[in-house]
Structure 1
């Protein structure tokens, strides 16, 4: 568990949401905001977030779509408690379940959802320098294989339900190993025009039969390079990150 002195309260969606996060552990940035914006949930529908952390993606989605019913599954108890606190203080509905997606708790296994969203760890289990903080290391480095994240997501979806996932661009081949879903759309996310994408957002439909679509990149920053301090987001990125707009796919 985290003491208040170990936390910071950070603004998301232009300050519309205030989220408690550990100062030294895993700290959400723009990726969960993009994930929430890409989920096509509508009021009254159900959403499960696998690995919800402190609740940033789930709460950004709940803020954008009034009446959506969101459940988060989180392995690390301290982060699960933060997600509950953040939901309560924001006045948004979020049910948080403690558990491992590789061994879904029985109560959650009995449910299915209209949507599943996920922001799995980007870094492979081997190689690289481990993070000094254990919670950050667990959130960023793959321990449960990405294939199991994909399988768990599909099992929790209704037939015809939608999976939305954000992942490092260099893991795209692993993401496309998804079986049991179709109508796949891939949105590359590039830091600037003309730069390689660093992230990809996948949307896939359980049982879908549509052709795979590779979309034009979503560009985050204006200009060819960083020229000044401060906000250089494109108008489209500002709409999503600052104003809570949907990310159309």
Structure 2
């Protein structure tokens, strides 16, 4: 996750495999070595549990195409491609350095088994209309969209690291509106959008979803059993008229120690997913 309470990658069975990485970068194993990501060692946001939880919202039976908006080095999108055979993934990232990390990640021999199903689009998620379509993000082109927006306010965090600042802090007061507008445009009817964010952003997220999506499902993510949520996972379906559902929470740590709970461990390592409770019925499906 993106907070000071984050678990290191090793805690979820992920570990650095730095030999062979360019200077200043590491090659990190995820899902206990099922896939690998090249990312800066000290600059920018390093992928962790947030990305794995987000990827887990894509159901095991998913088919078609998926867009990972604000993909960074591509960890969440790769987690989906690694776990679900046949799904095609587009990593959308505007920062040139992180987009290049994603390209090199795809090309790494350790990811060869699914590399032909992943590509990178270097583009700003907030582009509209013809400008967006020109980047390759066409209307109604995707079955799934996942996103991990830079959900901190600029005033929440200052850092001399430009990559990290861009990954963590939004420069727009309408960030969720802009990102979910794009998700709505590029999703097919009945397509699913998933995002992870801080709980305090929930009102903004619901306002942006409510004009376009239904069947909203909200899952709190708590560090421990008696702790308040530090993240929310939100999924919704384009054009659905199904009711909102507040899900049971995901508890990250078991007991007072640093070990993951069994559920968090399975989600972090691709051994389980977090499927939606509601299934689209005929009367709720968009026409």
By how many angstroms is 1:129 displaced?
3.5
Which structure 1 segments of 5+ residues have no match?
none
Give yes or no for the alignment of 1:94 onto 2:126.
Answer: no
Answer yes or no: is the 8 Å Cα contact 1:41–1:115 preserved in 2. no
Match of 2:187 in 1: 157
Structure 2 distance, partners of 1:243, 1:161, is 22
| Aligned-residue RMSD, C-alpha | 1.6
Residue equivalent to 1:196: 228
With normalisation by structure 1, the TM-score equals 0.91
Secondary structure, counterpart of 1:186 in structure 2: strand
- What does 1:22-171 correspond to in 2, within 5 Å? 22-23=40-41, 24-40=43-59, 42=61, 44-89=63-108, 90-91=111-112, 92=114, 93-103=117-127, 104-106=132-134, 107-110=136-139, 112-125=141-154, 127-144=155-172, 145-171=175-201
Q: Is the 8 A contact 2:140 2:188 kept in 1?
A: no
2:140·2:185 contact (CA, 8 Å) conserved in 1? no
Distance 1:105 1:77 in 2: 19
Greater mean deviation of Cα atoms: 38-47 or 193-202: 38-47
* Residue 263 of structure 2, aligned match among 233, 236, 243: 236
Runs of 4+ in 1 over 6 A off after TM superposition: none
CA contact (8 A) 1:99 1:105 kept: no
Q: TM-score, normalised by structure 2?
A: 0.80
Could you tell me how far apart the structure 1 residues matched to 2:78 and 2:271 are? 11
Separation (CA, whole Å) in 2 of partners of 1:218 and 1:112: 31
How has the CA–CA distance of structure 1 residues 133 and 59 changed in structure 2, closer, same or farther, with 3 Å as cutoff? same
SS of equivalent residue, structure 2 residue 86: coil
Any idea what the Cα deviations from partners look like across 1:160-188, whole Å, max 9, x if unmatched? 11101111111111111122110110011
Q: State how far apart, in whole Å, the 1-side matches of 2:181 and 2:271 are.
A: 29
Query: Would the aligned equivalents of 1:162 and 1:206 in 2 still touch at CA under 8 Å?
Result: yes
Q: Which residue of 2 aligns with 1:181?
A: 213
Equivalent pair of 1:42/1:68 in contact (CA under 8 Å): no
Q: 2:269 and 2:64 mapped to 1: Cα distance?
A: 24
CA shift for structure 1 position 85: 1.3
- The alignment partner of 1:216 has SS state of coil
Unaligned runs of 5+ in 2: 1-20, 277-287
